[in-house]
A and B are shown apart, each in its own frame.
Chain A
């Protein structure tokens, strides 16, 4: 158990820079989820923490100890890989015991810990099998077991659930969270799945093109996204982003789609006419209200308890709304209201959030 500190980590492969200065302080026992689209540098960051890659610049400290130049073996960490990376020629028990054996743990203690860990993960009956005789979910558990058994300072997970089917994924997600909380080991968890990110993390690092777009708790990321990228990435269906300009001395926004919306939380800086991007979550759209936009529906998805509507505004912008209950059929133009109290205001140029 330990803290983890990353300071100004950059990484370039030849001429391409993959990480542009990542800072992160992880508290003891905290679970941090690094989430972002494929190719944004999540794995690279994790591998730098593991010592499998060296950062181009910057420092990694685990438990206050500088480890930037240390081999993976000297960092006292464990990692669960996306493809599990079990040793194919070893049995499940040998797979789990490998790290302990290398550390010179006495035989009887290894046996005890293998049995204990296997019990914890429910893989006791599999101990004598080889990895190729296991199902995907079982391999996943063995990979977890191999990580847990060493009682490392830090757990690293690189998309550990992405090779599982949907049902198993949900189940393992819960299990990983329970285990992590029970063992209290500081963890970094990489995923591209926002549901995994929201449910697993104490805090999220939303990465975008090699930068940390936002580091905050899941609720904070959802309710106060730091920029338009985060706003569009977290939440499903994705947040509506509409063009507008600052109006009435900074107290309102004139939407390109028509209505004028008054900010309920106070004025924004910058003169009237400043280009803005206004975010509204689909689930915050209303059937009735003051600021009405007319949506030409092109798709209605009834989900039973709610209905997702997709359509186009007079400004040519697309709009999605999630409304409770059943909603009439396609083809019709439908009036919907944008609630002023649920607006997210971003600068149109930089995409950064503008607070009152």
Chain B
């Protein structure tokens, strides 16, 4: 079913493309270009004048121990979020795939988190894990675990990881479930007859067949953890305690908006942009090369 629409002339297609191009231009290309330009400038302390400094901002950022700390936080944070979100989603998808009857129910239940705004989901987790008002937080303290993510950096990291991963599970789940359902049932039956028990079947047949999906999701999850988790961190920990949960994207905000160090903030965001572009390139390369079963 190839339903290609062929336009006569050029005016109409141009006109139809215009709104999207305009939006992209105004909300993406323009700010990105501004960021690149800004990253080459240095403002004076009062923000009244700026001078062109070339790549100095980048050199400063890369040498800054605070930035390196944030980078380390981000590495821990992003990989934890990706692993947790992928692992939980895969587990749930496998369960849902088994329980054919419950699928609709499962699917609906599991898609909800994706529709919840970051700040709201953060508040939800806050109600659960706050040391004095949170359900689980109080229970932990009552059980003798010293739980206070406002004081303990590791606990704070754990909390933002859980809250961020939770939101991504639904997205991953959908893809994993679709991936699982595209594996022919007879292939799994053949493996069962060949003598493979369920766990073995999973690791030697199901998981390899899901690997294109898994890789795609890994990149999506990393990008999510890098860029889309600002709201969760802002609402839960504000990068604290100390700088324990300050990720790169959060530091861009702190340096740019709180500290008004626009040059450095812009340089940091350009670095992030380069990183995500690199990830996307890897992704496309891989997807192209990768077989589709």
Contacts and interface: CB of A to CB of B under 8 A. Distances in A.
Q: Decide whether A and B are members of one complex.
A: yes
B190 A79 contact: yes
A92 to B, nearest CB: 14
A73 B196 contact: yes
B197 interface: yes
B191 A79 contact: no
B194 A89 contact: no
A98 B195 CA distance: 9
Contacts of A52: 189, 192-193
Interface stretch (A23-31, A80-88, A162-170, A271-279): A80-88
B277 interface: no
A85 B186 contact: yes
B195 A102 contact: yes
Given A89-B208, A132-B291, A99 B187 contact: no
Contacts of A112: none
Nearest to A152: B193
A71 B209 contact: no
B184 A85 contact: yes
B211 to A, nearest CB: 8
B192 A83 contact: no
Interface in B204-231: 204-205, 208-209
Nearest to A131: B293
Given A73-B196, A99-B195, A132-B291, A85 B209 contact: no
Interface residues of B, number: 19
B200 interface: yes
B190 A87 contact: yes
A77 B193 contact: yes
Contacts of B193: 50-52, 72-73, 77-79, 99
A91 to B, nearest CB: 12
Interface residues on A, range: 20 to 34
Q: Is the interface of A mostly helix, strand, loop or mixed?
A: loop
A153 interface: no
A73 B197 contact: yes
B197 A89 contact: no
A130 B186 CA distance: 17
B189 A72 contact: yes
A102 B190 CA distance: 13
A281 interface: no
Nearest to A103: B195
A146 interface: yes
Nearest to B207: A89
Contacts of A89: 205, 208-209, 293
Select the residue from A71, A79, A85, A150 with max chain B CB neighbours within 10 A.
A85
Given A102-B200, A132-B291, A85 B189 contact: yes
A99 B184 contact: no
Contacts of B200: 102
A87 B192 contact: no
A103 B200 CA distance: 12
Interface in B161-195: 184, 186-187, 189-195
B192 A81 contact: no
A125 B187 CA distance: 24
B191 A83 contact: no
Contacts of A77: 193
Nearest to A99: B194
Given A73-B193, A73-B197, A98-B196, 15 more contacts: A50-B193, A71-B197, A73-B196, A78-B193, A79-B189, A79-B190, A81-B189, A85-B187, A85-B189, A85-B190, A86-B187, A87-B191, A102-B194, A102-B200, A150-B194
Interface of A: 50-52, 71-73, 77-79, 81-83, 85-89, 98-99, 102-103, 130, 132, 146, 150
18 contacts: A50-B193, A51-B192, A52-B189, A72-B192, A73-B192, A73-B194, A73-B195, A73-B196, A73-B197, A79-B189, A85-B186, A98-B204, A99-B193, A99-B194, A102-B194, A102-B195, A132-B291, A146-B194
What are the 3 closest A-B residue pairs judged by CB atoms, nearest first? A99-B194, A85-B186, A85-B190
